[in-house]
Structure 1
Amino acid sequence: MAPSCLRRQVVIGILQHRLETMTETGNRMGHDSVGSPGCERMLTDSGLTQAQREMLERCLHTLTHAKNDSHTLAALLLITRVCPANQLDSATLRRVFEAVGLGLPARLLVTAVQGGAGSCSVLPAEELLSLGTALLAALSTDQDMATHPQLLSTIPLLLGLLADGPGWTPHTKPQGQESERGQPSEDYPAKPHAAQEGSHLNQSSANPREPSGEHQSPEESVGLSEGVGKAPPSPAAGLDEALAADCYQVLSMVCASARGPEQLLSRGAVPALCRAVDRNQTLSREKCLPLLGHLLSSRIRPSAWSKHPAELLSLLAAVSAEFCQASQLDRLEMCTRVPQFLPPPGVALESGDLRSIVSQLWGVLRPMVQAKVTPAQLGPVLVLSACLLDLCGWELVGPPKLCCLLVNRACVEVRMGLEEYPATDLSPVQEQVITACYRIMEAAMEQACSQGLVQDTAQPQTAIAGLNLQQSRQVLGVLEEAFSAVIYYLQQVGQSRRGDPFLFVTFRSLCAWLAEETSCLKEEVIALLPFLINYAKGHLEGEGPDKGLSDWMSEMSVTDTTEGGAWSGEDAIRYLLPALCHLSAEEGPRRVLLDLDTPALLVGFLERRWGALRGKRGVAGTRDPSMETACSSLLNFAVTEADRVRKDPCFLSLKSLLSDALPVLLHKPRLLVLAANFCTLGLMTGRLTPASKGPVDAVQRRFFTAALRFLGGALRPGPGPAEVSAAWAEWWEEVAELWRLGLQALAGCVRALPWLAAVAREGGWLADTLALLAASSALPDPHSQGALEEALVALARQCPLCRGEIRAVLAENRGALHSMVQLQGALAD
């Protein structure tokens, strides 16, 4: 028997003499009973003989009716004698857990730290700590117990022991326990509580399994002021390994629960565990680092780095230093651990420490990328490389030749993995490595597809610096080969594994490629369009099981979605939208997209996103680029497929959506780009609407009234030429072309819908536009002047009253109106 286990048996043995104070039923049960003839019977399904079960029931009765903590411990001793734990089924263990409760181990810890008089004060604090943590570790194996508030309230005590050793006391409060607002956390009250006599071991109460006082947590019983209780264990001695293992067992079980990572984060686990590693406390390498790695790989990763950047950066520096100093063989094994401790991309770290750490890591990785290693050894190297690229881009990787080699190795890995499917299925490890390779490939796309673009100095350098034209073509070539393998894999898998996370990341990677490059592999891409559209449509409409993918998105803390990382079914189409924008502009792919009813899919997406956007009360304007991209694709159909727009019912739904949305967007200045897309899309489809002989549709009138008001707000008179209005100035580069296209579409709408001219005149758009032209010598550019002139020409030819107003202004003023030759010609007709 290990010394620590023997010591715990001695602790329980000290309490054995208290059996004499227990009930008569308890006294009749003894060690000899186990050897009764009934033990020879066959074991039941629970693993116990009939005699054991009978005695167990009496033990449980004694445990349930124990009058104090000492009686409870003695009853536990009896149960361990009668029935070893490995023979108890889960239901029986649950009964034991419920009978013991969490109050006892919590009070043992409190008494150990606080001290005080009591019938068991003869026990050293070390023994109380050992016994309390052992009970907590046993209780935490039950899922419900691991999430119980009383067990969670002991976490700061356990963290204090692990971080600061046996000399820890509550008044030496670990750093990081303050809440985000600077107030004490729920586990550390703002005011110190006096030591309470009733919290000591062996207290007697109506409910002996609850701490004294109403809703009193162990921390509250301990007290936070100095000088409370007896002296803690000597700080010279390190924490016992068995005790530390029990503490980590409790924390690990809590971490494994549904909200465990959040519970640990809110109770200061991250800074405490970082301190344990920094001080090289007991089991800090064996238990603490893996627990921290699990925590920092979960969904709390961004929050943890946001709340504790200094501690985590120091931890990362230590892990990186160990990695750099390790032997070659150990480095290959450590490649799988280092990514757990890296910050998520986008976390702002003001100092240059992170760049320095990443630079050191690349210094070690470069020869590993160049080395001849087995595929099993190369995989972790590629995973770590992908993570470093996510953080700092290509700038720190090395010379262009090495960057090209890294891209090439990633592409080869993708081809080797995907081209063997379905003859050889992918293992989880292979999927992880290929996913990392996708990220390396995506990081190389910008340079390969858009060489020479100026990079934003505020962002990581995504392009490979110094890459010449020949190298760029080589990168593009290996990327094309890799994405050919991706297309092959998607063709083989089909829709049967739509809920598979790896299929999703493969789909996403191909969409990223298609957003940049549509000229390569055109025939293969067109052949794959049915899969791409049906995959996106299936997720959007909620067909099939998505739970695995939803859980994966949550666990990976995917935050580049419109729902803040939560799987909503929209993410697949969002990634596909940029490619659809390109493909819908080309004749061949557009034919296939129409056959697949893609316009209806896009309209359904817009309806869903607008409903979510409008439902966000109080949000002045959260821009959603995916809605703008969807509008661009629909514009391509509206421009090129007039017959489809006239006949397809989805465009009627679109008109209803736009007439509802545009008036609302007029009051959302931060959503001006979306308003421009909605306005132009509505006008482009409106020009194809056949004129009705009946009364004007209220839905149409509402939209056109809002559209005219929107178009009229773009320009204002200047001292010379007209200027872009203040509200539009920030977005002019993005919306100028949409504004011009909208004016041209307005002209077509006036010709198709004669009643629209009266709306333009009576609503004030015509008068305001003429006033602008009269007060300005010119428009900002010839294209804007030509678009506005086309709209005025349509009004002049369609409406005599409009023609009269234009003539009157033209006769009285010498502004920009006089330079519009086509308009003057229309007035002369």
Structure 2
Amino acid sequence: MSLQSEKVVMAENTDGNPARKQQSAEGGDDEGPGRRARGGGLSEAQAVVLERCIRALKEAKMDSQTLAALLLITRLCPASDLDKNTLRRIFEAVGFNLPARLLVTAFRQSDTGLSPHDVLSLATALLAALSADSEMVLHPQLLTSVPILLGLVSSGPMMAQNLLSADFSKPQSSSARNKAGAGRRHRSADGAEKKASKAEEESDLDEAMAGDIYQVLIAVSVFPKGVDHLLRRGAVYALCQAVEHNQTLCREKGLPLLATLLSGQFKDRVWSKHGDELITLLLRLTDEFCKASNEAKLELCTQIVQFLPPTGVAVEGELVKVVSCLWEALRPMVQSKLTPNQLGPVLVLCAALLDVYGWKLVGPPKFCCLLVNRACVEIRMALEEPLEGSLSAELQQTLAGCYRIMEAAIEEACRLNFSLVYGAPKVTIPALSEAQQKQILRVLQEAFAALMFYLGQVDTSCYGDPFVFATFRCLCCWLSNETSCLKEEVASLLPFLINYSRSHLLKESSGDDLSDWLANLSISEERESWAGRQPLRFLIPAVCHLTAEDRPRRVLLALDTPALLMDFLTQSWVALKRTDGAWARDTSMETVCAAFLNLIVLEPERVREDPCFKSLEAFLSEALPTLMFKPRLVVLAANFCTLGLVVGKVELASSGSLEPCQRRFFTTALRFLRGALDGSGKPGPVKVSANWAKSWDEAAELWRVSVQALGSRVSEQPSVIALIRGEGWLKRTLAMLDQCSALPDPKTEEVLEATLCSITETCPTCKEEVVEVLRNQRGALINMAKLKKAAGVE
């Protein structure tokens, strides 16, 4: 058989479309009764030919013999009729490196008896068939072809001679881009264009070849390892170039593939490396969106969302232009009468834009109110009725966008410092009238009532549902800032909120589906790996507020919330220590300490009875020494110090001595508190030490509470005095006050004086030391009248 006479496009048989019917060697139809299972849906005659061809492939000595056998297979045995096992046998007979070798052969224009185009067509078709098998798609020989395939979709066959040496993983210069785009085919009615050179006519891929190439790239992108390989080989740059040069199937296949690469955990990485190319692409898509008809805009909303930058990317220059243009196009859409199905993608895009740039470019106050109102109405329509089945995926996506709009409204309300309680704004916002404030607060309250109604119907079997988590998270955003309205509903929902959080905390592995769903949301979400602590992390601020109120606190205690908080604190501490020395601040742990502090102060009897608080004391004695010299975690250390001193005070027996863990904690706490103030400098006011200075605004009150608790422990547990003297806390504190003229603020001075009074009144030896220093009549001690009185110094 003459290879030169054959023109083969295997994509006809491998792209998933039915291939034309083949006649068997005996003249029988391949649909006839002679078909058998071997080889998929082949007749017996076809199976015989197939076996001969596979044998010929194994015995082939030259590529021309291999190609001849392959061509015969494609003529008589369409790939769509072959099962995976048969396809694998063919590729094993051919050799997995043949498709890649054919690509190189086409570029070098070696003599195979086929034109370079036909060799490319055959190579890409073979790769497409190979990628159809999920177990073979990440085969090394297939992955080695990825850079060349990306070059083809980016620049077309005309640039084939440069593909072997090109590096598509790095952005190219403008001159290189122009050269890459120079080969694009320019079509016009002018007859002269039809007589362009053959190279120009072949600058675009034909649709079948492009389809095969994209089939391979898409199959690779299904796997995380495959996505990483595509990113390292410059897929983002190549696909952006394909769109810029309007290459074949770049819109139908290229943009969806690019959206996949931009989703989930890879988005930050891609934008940090290819920001310029993606902004250029986004400008193009935004321009098309703004110029499109109203009906087309509705279809393009979902596409635009996929290409917006992640939160954290600086919105300046061209990106500000993008956001401004999109809001200008969206305002009439939000204001118009749209069906729920039409409105959904519009609200999701609005939510994504709020994530990117906040409320700055949204529009006038009236439109902002309308946007929040429409989101709240959608939520109420979907969630106020009893559940009669699961919500559709499209509706869940819409509601997730509405949740983000609500959260953004709450965040803005807190930033502008007006109360979330309807009818009681604290200040008048210059851009928002009091009536508009009340309107937003009212619709938010109604929408959150709908959320609570929905969550109240959720069964434990649905705890793994990602939409339930999205609803839970949105409600927690409200509760973190407002617990004074809907009190009855909140108290009634607390069992669900606590049990839901506990379920995830105790089953870390249950979040795989949640992690995948959150990573691929159309709106910005945390793209870190899912951890069971996440639900409780969102609920903790509300729990802290609620522990200060009588009825909710009783409900929380009945649900054994202290044990839940202790589990969270322990897990978070273990996770913090695993951060390879980064020691990033975790405000959730600080908030847990505040919740514990409320419980200790308001429920002392529970503290004495609940073994959880004994475990807390032991945990703090182990954790505080680790935080001693970590300036970034001063606030957490101050929380641990305060909590340990207060919980110990409640649990102590007045005549009891210090246990080893208590002694270790006290020793560390005294050193930690002593390090906050620096009196070693020149005469003048006491300075806050370098380690504490950046966090003093947050840590000062904790330091004062700790010192105050220390004074209480002295009067109730005299054995603490030995540690205070042994660690030199008293001596150094008196020396500092003797040398410096004043403390950082009156509150700090007042608390420190009260503690010194307790020590003086409890310990005669300490009193002598205090008297000796007071007689000098120097420094900040001069103004401490109460201390002078306690020491008997006039």
Q: Same fold (TM over 0.5)?
A: yes
Q: Which residue of 2 aligns with 1:641?
A: 603
Distance 1:406 1:588 in 2: 36
| SS of alignment partner, residue 469 of structure 2 | helix
Matching of residue 89 in structure 1 with residue 83 in structure 2: yes
Alignment match of 1:816 (pick from 780, 783, 792) = 780
| SS of alignment partner, residue 247 of structure 2 | coil
Please tell me whether the aligned partners of residues 583 and 589 of structure 1 are also in contact (alpha carbons under 8 angstroms).
yes
Distance 1:38 1:294 in 2: 39
Report 1:298-337 matches (<5 A). 298-337=264-303
Q: Which residue of 1 aligns with 2:101?
A: 107
Deviation at 1:105, TM superposition (A): 1.0
Please tell me whether the aligned partners of residues 299 and 556 of structure 1 are also in contact (alpha carbons under 8 angstroms).
no
Please tell me whether the aligned partners of residues 320 and 357 of structure 1 are also in contact (alpha carbons under 8 angstroms).
yes
Q: Which residue of 2 aligns with 1:73?
A: 67
Q: Which residue of 2 aligns with 1:479?
A: 444
Report 1:507-526 matches (<5 A). 507-526=472-491
Please tell me whether the aligned partners of residues 655 and 717 of structure 2 are also in contact (alpha carbons under 8 angstroms).
no
Q: Which residue of 2 aligns with 1:32?
A: 25
Deviation at 1:687, TM superposition (A): 1.0
Matching of residue 605 in structure 1 with residue 536 in structure 2: no
Deviation at 1:660, TM superposition (A): 1.0
Counterpart amino acid of 2:588?
A: S
Alignment match of 1:623 (pick from 579, 585, 602) = 585
Please tell me whether the aligned partners of residues 38 and 51 of structure 1 are also in contact (alpha carbons under 8 angstroms).
no
Distance 2:665 2:782 in 1: 31
Distance 2:440 2:126 in 1: 59
Deviation at 1:443, TM superposition (A): 0.8
Matching of residue 141 in structure 1 with residue 141 in structure 2: no
Distance 2:773 2:704 in 1: 23
Q: Which is further off, 161-170 or 603-612?
A: 161-170
Per-residue CA deviations over 1:510-541 (Å, capped at 9, x if unaligned) read: 01111111111111011111111111111111
Please tell me whether the aligned partners of residues 174 and 272 of structure 1 are also in contact (alpha carbons under 8 angstroms).
no
Counterpart amino acid of 1:689?
A: E
Q: Which residue of 1 aligns with 2:399?
A: 434
Please tell me whether the aligned partners of residues 509 and 532 of structure 2 are also in contact (alpha carbons under 8 angstroms).
no
Q: Which residue of 1 aligns with 2:686?
A: 722
Distance 2:215 2:769 in 1: 84
Distance 1:11 1:690 in 2: 80
Give unmatched runs, 5+ long, in structure 1: 13-29, 183-231, 455-462
| SS of alignment partner, residue 629 of structure 2 | coil
Alignment match of 1:294 (pick from 260, 264, 271) = 260
Deviation at 1:797, TM superposition (A): 2.2
Per-residue CA deviations over 1:423-482 (Å, capped at 9, x if unaligned) read: 35310000000000000011111344564489xxxxxxxx99711222111100000000
Deviation at 1:657, TM superposition (A): 1.3
Per-residue CA deviations over 1:665-702 (Å, capped at 9, x if unaligned) read: 11211111111111011111111132376763211111
Distance 1:174 1:521 in 2: 66
Deviation at 1:11, TM superposition (A): 13
Q: Which residue of 2 aligns with 1:264?
A: 230
Distance 1:447 1:376 in 2: 28
Deviation at 1:268, TM superposition (A): 0.5
Counterpart amino acid of 1:359?
A: S
Matching of residue 758 in structure 1 with residue 732 in structure 2: no
Distance 1:10 1:274 in 2: 27
Counterpart amino acid of 2:447?
A: A
Q: Which residue of 1 aligns with 2:643?
A: 681
Please tell me whether the aligned partners of residues 746 and 791 of structure 1 are also in contact (alpha carbons under 8 angstroms).
yes
Q: 1:476 to 1:58 in 2, by over 3 A?
A: same
Counterpart amino acid of 1:144?
A: E
Deviation at 1:383, TM superposition (A): 0.7
Per-residue CA deviations over 1:724-769 (Å, capped at 9, x if unaligned) read: 2222111110001111111111112222322111100111000011
Give unmatched runs, 5+ long, in structure 2: 13-22, 173-196, 420-427
Counterpart amino acid of 2:108?
A: Q
Q: Which residue of 2 aligns with 1:590?
A: 553
Q: Which residue of 1 aligns with 2:20?
A: none
Q: 1:525 to 1:354 in 2, by over 3 A?
A: same
Matching of residue 826 in structure 1 with residue 790 in structure 2: yes
Q: Which is further off, 784-793 or 435-444?
A: 784-793
Q: Which residue of 2 aligns with 1:188?
A: none
Q: Which residue of 2 aligns with 1:152?
A: 143
Please tell me whether the aligned partners of residues 113 and 125 of structure 1 are also in contact (alpha carbons under 8 angstroms).
yes
Q: Which residue of 1 aligns with 2:494?
A: 529
Deviation at 1:84, TM superposition (A): 3.7
Distance 2:285 2:279 in 1: 10
Q: 1:175 to 1:436 in 2, by over 3 A?
A: farther
Distance 1:115 1:404 in 2: 65
Counterpart amino acid of 1:524?
A: E
Deviation at 1:55, TM superposition (A): 5.1
Please tell me whether the aligned partners of residues 554 and 567 of structure 1 are also in contact (alpha carbons under 8 angstroms).
no
Q: Which residue of 2 aligns with 1:770?
A: 734
Give aligned-pair identity as a percent. 53
Distance 2:282 2:77 in 1: 47
Q: Which residue of 1 aligns with 2:767?
A: 803
Q: 1:608 to 1:479 in 2, by over 3 A?
A: same
Please tell me whether the aligned partners of residues 394 and 465 of structure 1 are also in contact (alpha carbons under 8 angstroms).
no
| SS of alignment partner, residue 733 of structure 1 | helix
The number of residue pairs the alignment matches comes to 743
Please tell me whether the aligned partners of residues 47 and 88 of structure 1 are also in contact (alpha carbons under 8 angstroms).
yes
Distance 1:11 1:178 in 2: 28
Matching of residue 669 in structure 1 with residue 631 in structure 2: yes
Distance 2:694 2:413 in 1: 31
Distance 2:311 2:638 in 1: 32
Q: Which residue of 2 aligns with 1:7?
A: 7
Alignment match of 1:416 (pick from 368, 381, 385) = 381
Alignment match of 2:213 (pick from 247, 251, 255) = 247
Counterpart amino acid of 2:57?
A: L
| TM-score in terms of structure 2 length | 0.88
Q: Which residue of 2 aligns with 1:696?
A: 658
Per-residue CA deviations over 1:627-651 (Å, capped at 9, x if unaligned) read: 1111111111122111111221111
Q: Which residue of 2 aligns with 1:389?
A: 354
Matching of residue 706 in structure 1 with residue 668 in structure 2: yes
Matching of residue 356 in structure 1 with residue 318 in structure 2: no
Deviation at 1:179, TM superposition (A): 5.9
Matching of residue 496 in structure 1 with residue 489 in structure 2: no
Deviation at 1:322, TM superposition (A): 0.5
Distance 1:544 1:58 in 2: 51
Matching of residue 551 in structure 1 with residue 513 in structure 2: no
| SS of alignment partner, residue 223 of structure 2 | coil
Counterpart amino acid of 1:381?
A: V
The two structures, once aligned, show a CA RMSD in angstroms of 2.9
Per-residue CA deviations over 1:477-516 (Å, capped at 9, x if unaligned) read: 0000000000000001132211111111110000111111
| SS of alignment partner, residue 338 of structure 1 | helix
Matching of residue 794 in structure 1 with residue 758 in structure 2: yes
Counterpart amino acid of 1:32?
A: A
Distance 1:560 1:440 in 2: 13
Report 1:114-125 matches (<5 A). 114-116=108-110, 118=111, 120=112, 122-125=113-116
Please tell me whether the aligned partners of residues 316 and 341 of structure 1 are also in contact (alpha carbons under 8 angstroms).
yes
Q: 1:250 to 1:11 in 2, by over 3 A?
A: closer
Q: 1:431 to 1:6 in 2, by over 3 A?
A: farther
Deviation at 1:82, TM superposition (A): 5.1
Q: Which residue of 2 aligns with 1:228?
A: none
Q: Which residue of 2 aligns with 1:22?
A: none
Please tell me whether the aligned partners of residues 305 and 523 of structure 2 are also in contact (alpha carbons under 8 angstroms).
no
